Structure 1
Amino acid sequence: MKQFLIIISTMIGLIMSEASNAQDIELNLDKDNTLYMDLEFGRVIIAMRPDIAPKHVTRIKELAREGFYDGLTFHRVIEGFMAQGGDPLGTGTGGSGVNIPAEFNDVPHLRGTTSMARANDPDSADSQFFICFTRCNALDNSYTVWGRVVSGMEFVDMIQRGEPPRNPTKMLKVQVAADVDK
């Protein structure tokens, strides 16, 4: 019984530490380069990387500030691969109408990486992006990594799967952290 209580106590400590770490991460981020993506399950926090993809980060911040992503769905979600959203049509064929030149970089596509979707033309990225569920090395140096989920990956894991999903998960609100009043 004593060992059981020790195990439970340790687990509670780890959970509390995890919650505290998430708050610490949020407090230490550059708010102007942090994106809040609110899903029905909770908030996903993305640290954007203007140092490796300045044009992409600038465009994503413009779209977020316009409210472009609010209410859009994740229209292509493949188990063990990624969740893709940012298409106003919800079909994978739409965008904002402004292409972004490729900014391929050497940052690997790891679990939680945010990267831009595109057509065959390397300079065809627009508003659609994806979040990797796992390591996707086949995408390295061929898609523009622009950030990484630093908190809320458990909510990304809850995004409805499918191509398209039967009940697609919506981005309720996407905001630049610097614009959010606490």
Structure 2
Amino acid sequence: MEINIRQWIVSVMILGALLMGGCAQQDATSQAPNLPTEPPVTAQAPDAFSNLPRLEGKATVQMVIKGKNVLIEVDGSKAPITAGNFVDLVQRQVYDGVVFHRVVRDPQPFVAQGGDPQSKKPQADPRTFGTGGFIDPTTGQERSIPLEITPEGAPSPVYGSPLQSAGINQPPVLKHKRGAVAMARSQAPNSASAQFYFALSDLEFLDGNYAVFGQVIEGMDVVDGIQQGDRIDSAQVVEGLENLRSNGPS
């Protein structure tokens, strides 16, 4: 029986909400992702996040998956906090050994999501994968970063709200093209922490709702081959580390 295209699009969008719902913080919206969410967070000034790492420019991260290299260009010029957080976590070896706990390819290639720090623990319960974030060892608290999206033509990012909720009709500069790397989060806009995903195809309907911060520039065939349960062998910054700024204890 042929699939109704409109129903398929709706089902994929719901799947996207469920996918991002199991991220760093399990709140009410994570448990019931189809319920109305709280009012959008007002866009906040960057000074509110001055304690977070920032990437001023670009960097290249080499990720080894099943013994094969994937190169990621991380763009701090359009997503400085999101990119800085990722590069900082790479430097801390947070991603070494973590699992890709959710890989969706049907009815068409969607995402490969990983980065939950608790998934590297040998005795961890796989049923909890997708609920963890980065715990800062200096504070004992989970680091959360704001939703950060730069619209086309804007001089700086919009913080704390999807673009449409902020009344912005311009598309983002960094889009969900095949090979894009973006942060997973719950329905709370500022709940991203460590989990990220690779876009396995163009995912335009996610643009403006989730923060893209990088792009696979080499090894997309490796990304296409990721299976649920595969681990990241290692990740390291091979270029642009000098652009990382750490302005606080996090």
| TM-score of Structure 1 vs Structure 2, range by shorter chain | 0.7 to 0.9
Q: Provide the aligned length of Structure 1 versus Structure 2.
A: 144
**Residues 174 and 102 (structure 1), Cα distance of their counterparts in 2 relative to 1, 3 Å cut:** same
Deviations 1:9-41 (A, max 9, x none): xxxxxxxxxxxxxxxxxxxxxx96001100114
TM norm structure 2: 0.55
Structure number with higher helix proportion = 1
Moved over 6 A (4+): none
1:82 counterpart residue number? 111
Q: Is the 8 A contact 2:58 2:77 kept in 1?
A: no
Read off the aligned partner of 1:103 and give its amino acid letter. Answer: E
* Cα drift, residue 178 of structure 1: 3.2
Once the two structures are superposed, the pairs formed by residues 30-179 of structure 1 within 5 Å of their partners are: 33-79=59-105, 80-90=109-119, 91-96=129-134, 97-105=142-150, 106=172, 107-160=174-227, 165=228, 168-178=229-239
Gaps of 5+ in 2: 1-56, 120-128, 135-141, 151-171, 242-250
Gaps of 5+ in 1: 1-30
Measured in 2, the distance between the counterparts of 1:37 and 1:56 equals 18
Measured in 1, the distance between the counterparts of 2:238 and 2:103 equals 26
Measured in 1, the distance between the counterparts of 2:58 and 2:69 equals 17
Q: Is the 8 A contact 1:40 1:172 kept in 2?
A: yes
The 3-state SS of whatever aligns with 2:148 is coil
